[in-house]
Amino acid sequence: MIAALLAAATATAQAQTTTPAQAQAPEPAAAPTPSTPHATPPAPSFAFLTTPPLGLPPMPKPSGYTPTAAMFALGERLFFDPLLSRDRTVSCASCHPAATGFAHPDPLPKGIDGQLALRHAPALWNRGYGALQRWDGASPSLEAFVLEPIADAREMGFGVDAAIARLRADAHYGPAFAAAFDQPADAQGLQRALATYVRGIALGDAPYDRFLRGDADALTPQQRHGQWLFESKGGCWQCHTPPLFTDEGFHATGVGARDGELAAGRMTATGDAADRGRFKTPTLRGLRLTAPYMHDGSQRTLADVVDFYARGGAADVPLDPKMRGLDLSPAERAALVAFLASL
């Protein structure tokens, strides 16, 4: 489909610019202005659960309950409230701030008592489409994932039971839980409210999506070149599969390898030595906002990421079979960065 669009656009352009020799050449037309990604992405919305942004598929429904607008509103309030941490200093948004694409701008975010998290806090875009959560897939569902930071000693350092007791003692949360669940705060309500809000953190409607819908001018020539590299020579699509730009799988790229040994990665969750070094493929949506990159935040810019993959990943460690070096010119690397930044 993409190749057909490009071919059609090229053929149309050639037909329009070819004139008989005896005809007077027309005045050059002004170049169309390519569309751009949202400078400020749309705010999370309950509507995205049923009507996702352009380019995204229908969002899977959670098991065992039907999300409501009241759950979303409560989840949004809880997401930004440091009340869920032991000393009331850390909220979900502390590690996943909206201004940086719900990812943290530092390689390792700080939790309670200034402790550093073990891994980079990734973007939360489109996590409602995924099953296994976290870099190592240790969380079996979004519902399980949203409660884990509350008890993590490095993050919120509290505990779900203690958080529920605090919520029940708070006069403002009583009516909110009653409106959402018709009962006082409990672990299931907290879980479902937070998960419903995170499902509403969705991102699509990029120039790429508009291009696929027939807007031939949505991407610049450089971005189109980057898209071609992404889908052909680079083979990036094999793991960063559109439209979510992730295969939701786990791969060993060598990030974080030390002294010839891969980091534990997925093996932490499965106990299988074959999973050593494998980390979850993150989405590429909203990349321009979510630096630094990788599970350890070791790649500072998109150019650094492209260079890393062009080298074929880390040397002297066993890698995913899909990892291979790429002979990319400076212009090709710049085009890939331009395409990635447009998503």
For 240-292, the DSSP string reads S-TTTT--S-EEE--TT-BTTB---TTHHHH--GGGTTEEEPPP-TTGGGS-S
Domain shared by 139 and 212, yes or no: no
CA dihedral 336, 339, 340, 343 (to 10 degrees): -170
Q: Are strands 250-252 and 278-280 parallel, antiparallel or unpaired?
A: antiparallel
At a CB cut-off of 8 Å and minimum separation 6, what does 3 contact? none
In a domain, 29, yes or no: no
Domain shared by 52 and 195, yes or no: yes
Q: What is the pLDDT of residue 37?
A: 64
Domain shared by 213 and 337, yes or no: yes
Distance between CA atoms of residues 307 and 299, nearest Å: 10
In a domain, 148, yes or no: yes
Last residue of a domain, one of 141, 174, 199: 199
Cβ count near 40 (within 10 Å)? 8
Distance between CA atoms of residues 187 and 165, nearest Å: 10
Domain shared by 179 and 229, yes or no: no
In a domain, 1, yes or no: no
At a CB cut-off of 8 Å and minimum separation 6, what does 326 contact? 233, 234, 309, 310, 312
In a domain, 99, yes or no: yes
Domain shared by 150 and 216, yes or no: no
Distance between CA atoms of residues 37 and 210, nearest Å: 10
Distances (CA, A) of 211 to 58, 208, 214, 221, 254: 20, 5, 5, 12, 34
At a CB cut-off of 8 Å and minimum separation 6, what does 302 contact? 287, 288, 291, 293, 337, 340, 341
Q: What is the pLDDT of residue 315?
A: 81
Domain shared by 69 and 194, yes or no: yes
Domain shared by 193 and 223, yes or no: no
Q: Which residues of the chain register pLDDT less than 70?
A: 1-39
Domain shared by 176 and 216, yes or no: no
Q: What is the pLDDT of residue 6?
A: 37
Domain shared by 182 and 233, yes or no: no
Last residue of a domain, one of 199, 231, 247: 199
**What predicted TM-score, i.e. pTM, was given to this entire model?**
0.88
Last residue of a domain, one of 179, 199, 219: 199
In a domain, 293, yes or no: yes
Distance between CA atoms of residues 305 and 293, nearest Å: 7
Q: What is the pLDDT of residue 40?
A: 76
In a domain, 17, yes or no: no
Domain shared by 171 and 226, yes or no: no
Write out the two tokens for 267: 């093996």
Q: What is the pLDDT of residue 41?
A: 84
Domain shared by 170 and 240, yes or no: no
Distances (CA, A) of 232 to 69, 74, 228: 42, 44, 6
Domains in the chain, number: 2
Tell me which residue range forms the domain holding 296: 207-342
Cis status of the peptide bond prior to 243, with omega within 30 of 0: yes
In a domain, 298, yes or no: yes
Cβ count near 77 (within 10 Å)? 15
In a domain, 166, yes or no: yes
Domain shared by 306 and 262, yes or no: yes
* CATH number reported for the structural domain that contains residue 189 in this entry: 1.10.760.10
Of 67, 109, 73, the residue nearest 90 (C-alpha): 109
Q: What is the pLDDT of residue 18?
A: 32
